[in-house]
C-alpha cells in the first residue's frame, strides 16, 4: 500500500492531460485483485512548486487553451512587484499560478473505476518554459473490508 510515481514529461507552459496515465496507474495498482470488487479513494500529489494538478474540461481543446490563456492573463510575467527572478521571468509567475490550482487531489474509486464526470479530464498544469520531467504520486486507499 505504498504509492507509485508517474513521471510526466513537459515541454513548456501548457495543460497536459494525464487522465490516461492516472487510470493506468490505478489499473496497475489493482491488477492483483482480479475477480474482487475494490472501491476506495485515490490520492494524487505533485511534489513541485511550479506546476499543479487540476480537473478541467477535456472534450474541446479550445476550452483547455482558454484556461491556459486565463492563467497567463492572471499572472503576467511583467508584474511590477516581482522580486524573485533567479531562474528567469517565468519563475515567480509559475509559483503564483501553481498555488491557484492543486498540489493534492482526491478521487472516488468505485468497483475499480475512477469516477470522473463526462467532460472532466485530469491535467498537469505546467507553468515553466523549460522541458521538465514532473512527478505525480499516486496512492490508492481501498475501503475497509
Q: Catalog residues that contact a copy of itself under the rule CB under 8 A.
A: 1-3, 39-41, 43, 45-50, 54-58, 60, 62-63, 65-67, 69-70, 73-75, 79, 81-84, 86, 91-92, 95-96, 98-108, 110, 115-120, 135, 137, 139, 141-144
* Residues contacting 73, CB < 8 A, separation 6+: none
Nearer Cβ to a copy of itself, position 31 or 73?
73
> Least distance to a copy of itself from the beta carbon of 141, Å?
6
- Strand segments (E) across 2-142: 4-11, 14-17, 40-46, 51-57, 104-110, 113-114, 120-126, 131-142
Nearer Cβ to a copy of itself, position 30 or 82?
82
> Least distance to a copy of itself from the beta carbon of 102, Å?
8
**Closest to 54 (Cα-Cα) out of 97, 91, 88, 9:** 97
* Residues contacting 70, CB < 8 A, separation 6+: none
103 close to 46: Cβ distance less than 8 angstroms: yes
Nearer Cβ to a copy of itself, position 21 or 39?
39
Nearer Cβ to a copy of itself, position 7 or 73?
73
Amino acid at each position: 500500500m505504498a504509492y507509485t510515481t508517474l513521471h510526466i514529461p513537459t515541454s513548456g507552459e501548457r495543460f497536459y492531460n494525464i487522465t490516461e496515465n492516472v487510470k493506468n496507474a490505478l489499473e496497475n495498482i489493482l491488477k492483483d485483485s482480479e475477480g474482487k470488487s475494490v472501491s476506495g479513494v485515490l490520492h494524487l500529489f505533485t511534489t513541485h512548486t511550479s506546476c499543479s494538478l487540476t480537473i478541467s474540461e477535456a472534450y474541446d481543446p479550445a476550452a483547455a487553451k482558454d484556461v491556459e490563456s486565463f492563467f497567463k492573463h492572471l499572472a503576467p510575467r511583467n508584474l511590477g512587484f516581482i522580486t524573485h527572478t533567479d531562474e528567469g521571468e517565468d519563475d515567480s509567475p509559475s509559483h503564483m499560478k501553481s498555488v491557484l490550482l492543486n498540489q493534492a487531489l482526491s478521487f472516488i474509486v468505485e468497483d475499480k473505476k475512477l469516477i470522473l464526470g463526462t467532460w472532466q479530464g485530469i491535467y498537469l498544469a505546467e507553468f515553466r518554459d523549460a522541458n521538465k520531467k514532473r512527478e505525480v504520486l499516486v496512492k490508492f486507499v481501498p475501503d475497509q473490508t
